[in-house]
Structure 1
Amino acid sequence: MHYYEYQPGKLLRDYVQCYFTCETNEVVTIHDQVFASGSIEIMFNLGAESPQTIINSTRVTQPAVQLWGQTIQPLSFTTIGRHKMLGIRFFGHTAAYFFDEPIANFNDHVIDLKDVAGQAVRILYDQLQSSGSLVDRITLLEHYLLAQLARHGKSSKLKLMCSVVQALQRDDFFENINSVARDHGLSSRYLQKLFLAYSGLSPKLFVKIYRFRKSIEMVAGNDLSLTAIAYQCGYYDQSHFIKDFKYFTRIMPSHFCPESSTDLAVPLNY
Structure 2
Amino acid sequence: MRQRPRRDSRGILDPDRLLRQVRFRRRLPAPALRPYVEHYWLIDWELTGPLEQRVVPHPAVNVVFHGQEGGPETAEVAGPGNEIFAITLHDVGRASGVQFRPGGFRPFWRRPVAELTGRRRPLAAVGLPTVGPVCPGTDDDRCGQLDALLTGWAPGPDPLAAEATALVEEIRADRGILRVDEFARRHGVSTRRLQRLFLDQVGVGPKWVIRRYRLQEAIEQAAGGPLDWAGLATDLGYCDQAHLVREFTAVTGVSPAAYARSLR
What range is the shorter-chain TM-score in? 0.7 to 0.9
Aligned length in residues: 241
Determine the C-alpha separation between the residues in 2 that align with 1:101 and 1:135. Answer: 31
Bigger shift: residues 84-93 or 109-118? 109-118
Q: Identity, % of aligned pairs?
A: 23
Q: Which of structure 1's runs of 4+ aligned residues deviate more than 4 A? A: 257-260
Distance 1:143 1:231 in 2: 45
Sort the Cα spacing of 1:72 and 1:30 in 2 relative to 1 into closer, same or farther, 3 A: same
Q: CA RMSD in A?
A: 2.7
- CA shift, 1:44, in A, is 1.1
Aligned equivalents of 2:229, 2:70: Cα separation in 1: 43
Please state if 1:247 is matched with 2:250. yes
- C-alpha contact 1:218 1:229 (8 A) present in aligned 2: no
Q: Does 1:99 align with 2:103?
A: no
Q: 2:177 aligns with which of 173, 178, 186?
A: 173
On the 8 A contact 2:106/2:161 being kept in 1, the answer is no
Contact 1:42 1:88 in 2 (8 A): yes
Q: CA deviation at 1:161?
A: 1.7
Aligned to 2:42: 21
CA distance in 2, matches of 1:136, 1:30: 27
1:43-62 alignment, distance < 5 Å: 43-50=64-71
Give me the TM-score of the superposition, normalised by structure 2: 0.79
* Corresponding residue number in structure 2 for 1:135: 140
Q: Which has the higher helix share?
A: 1
For residues 205-229 of structure 1, give each alpha carbon's deviation from its aligned partner in whole angstroms, at most 9, with x where no partner exists: 1111111111111112223221233
The whole-number CA distance in structure 2 between the counterparts of 1:38 and 1:222 is 26
Per-residue deviation, 1:178: 3.0
SS in 2 for 1:4: strand
Question: Greater relative contact order: 1 or 2 (C-alpha under 8 angstroms, separation 6 or more)?
Answer: 1
Compute the displacement of 1:196 (Å).
0.6
Corresponding residue of 1:9: 30
Q: Distance in 1 between matches of 2:213 and 2:102?
A: 10
Unaligned runs of 5+ in 1: 52-62, 261-270
Question: Structure 2 unaligned runs (5+)?
Answer: 1-21
Q: Residue 202 of structure 2 aligns with which residue? A: 199
Deviations 1:200-258 (A, max 9, x none): 10111111111111111111222322123323433333222112212211321111169
Shift of 1:9: 2.7
Give runs of aligned pairs for residues 1-270 of structure 1, distance below 5 A. Answer: 1-26=22-47, 28-50=49-71, 64-118=74-128, 120-121=129-130, 123=131, 125-126=132-133, 128-129=134-135, 132-150=137-155, 153-169=156-172, 170-175=174-179, 177-256=180-259
